Amino acid sequence: MTNQIIIAIDAMGGDNSPNKVIEGISIHSKSSEDIIYKIFGNEKLISPLIKKYNLSNDKIKIFHTDNIVENEDTALSAAKKGKDTSLWLAVESLKHDAADAIVSAGNTGALFLISKLNLKMIENIDKPALSALWPSKKGMNVVLDLGANIDCNSKNLIDFSIMGSALLKALYEDVKANVALLNIGSEELKGNAMIKDTYQLLIENKNPLFDFNGYIEGNHIMDGDVNVIVADGFTGNIALKTAEGTSNFIISELKNALSSSIIGKFSSLLNFNNLKKFKNKLDPRLYNGAILLGLDKPVIKSHGSTDAVGFANSLKVCEKTIRGKLIDQIKNNIN
């Protein structure tokens, strides 16, 4: 099977694991071929779930360990737990080329640190960046950095532009990357010295991978006129949490409005299909799967509180990054 992909999975990270992880694998495996899932975790808990979800033994390989990284562990304490935790073993399989990528819903800081300890950075990239997919009016956006780096310089933001564009290309082959810098205004004179320097460098040094579209303000991220939004980790993380909170607020308030009266309930029945489309557009599970860019192997972070559907979507993102040759796209375009 020339197109076979091997995904290493930390089965013990995140809420309701390993159940949601194995169920998520079951969902993903029904729509994907030539995938081998290397599952790291407690075999006594995992094996019954393999049977429960009727997963083929040809697709599953279990690597038993009793030790896990807890959600409350610091990144440093997680690394000090040793090399026999499910997270460490899953990452280490990439180091030894025994897997093509890793997916974990576990401790974010621990995943990043253990990945950096085991994997190499792509040449000429100084800092990794956490990226994710956001929906827009015209398709999907890649947004980065979402918290891996608080302090960035101009070179870092240029690298993020290249890596984000490579990710977009890997996921959506026929879509042209249009990059913008997240800023407090769209005018050229707005922003701090670092972002102004980045603006000038991107104007002067064009990259064939993307078109540079200047600045974008937070209230225009969802417009879809640009599809790669670049920021330092502090700004990007605030934007992410604000978007998530706003989305949850809108869905919650809409539910309350449609269930608080007979008229509301009747209206929801009449508009069932439209409301379903609206809910799906804002459903964070359907965009689950953040990617740590800059390392020489794909590292995918699933949200810790997501369910099986969300975890399955992180596996889908993982598969697409491998088939789209994400790492090669970055290596071929980085300066």
pLDDT for 275 equals 57
Per this entry, what is the length of the chain? 335
E strand or H helix that includes residue 161: helix 154-171
Counting Cα atoms < 13 Å in the Cβ hemisphere of 139 gives 16
Q: Catalogue all structural domains in the chain, each as residue range(s) with its CATH number.
A: 1-125+294-326 (3.40.718.10), 127-287 (3.40.718.10)
Q: Which residue has the tokens 């990270």?
A: 13
pLDDT at 159: 95
**What secondary structure does DSSP assign to 103-118, as a single string?**
EE-S-HHHHHHHHHHH
**Quick one: which H or E segment has residue 60?**
strand 60-64
Q: Which residue has the tokens 């049977």?
A: 51
Peptide bond into 174 cis (omega under 30): no
**pLDDT digits over 87-110, tens only?**
999 999 999 999 999 999 999 899
How many C-beta atoms lie closer than 10 Å to residue 307's C-beta? 17
Q: Which two tokens mark 315?
A: 């596996």
The C-alpha angle with vertex 272 and arms to 269 and 274, in degrees rounded to 5, equals 140
Q: How many CB atoms lie within 10 A of CB 60?
A: 18
Nearest in space to 329 (alpha carbons), one of 171, 178, 212: 171
Distance between alpha carbon 10 and the CA centroid of its chain, in Å? 15
pLDDT tens over the chain, length 335 residues? 457 999 999 999 999 999 999 999 999 999 888 999 999 999 999 999 999 999 988 899 999 999 999 988 888 998 888 899 999 999 999 999 999 999 999 998 999 999 999 999 999 999 999 999 988 888 889 999 888 888 899 999 999 999 999 999 999 988 999 999 999 888 777 878 999 999 999 999 888 899 999 999 988 988 889 999 999 989 888 888 887 787 778 777 777 766 766 765 666 665 656 656 666 666 777 778 899 999 999 999 998 889 999 999 999 999 999 999 999 999 988 87
Instruction: Write out the two tokens for 245.
Output: 């909170």
Question: Beta-strand (E) ranges in 161-273?
Answer: 177-182, 210-216, 228-230
Structure tokens at 117: 């300890």
Query: With 0-12 CB in 10 A as exposed, 13-18 as middle and 19+ as buried, what is 278?
Result: middle
Instruction: Write down the pLDDT at residue 1.
Output: 40
For 217-271, what is each residue's pLDDT tens digit?
988 988 889 999 999 989 888 888 887 787 778 777 777 766 766 765 666 665 6
pLDDT at 200: 93
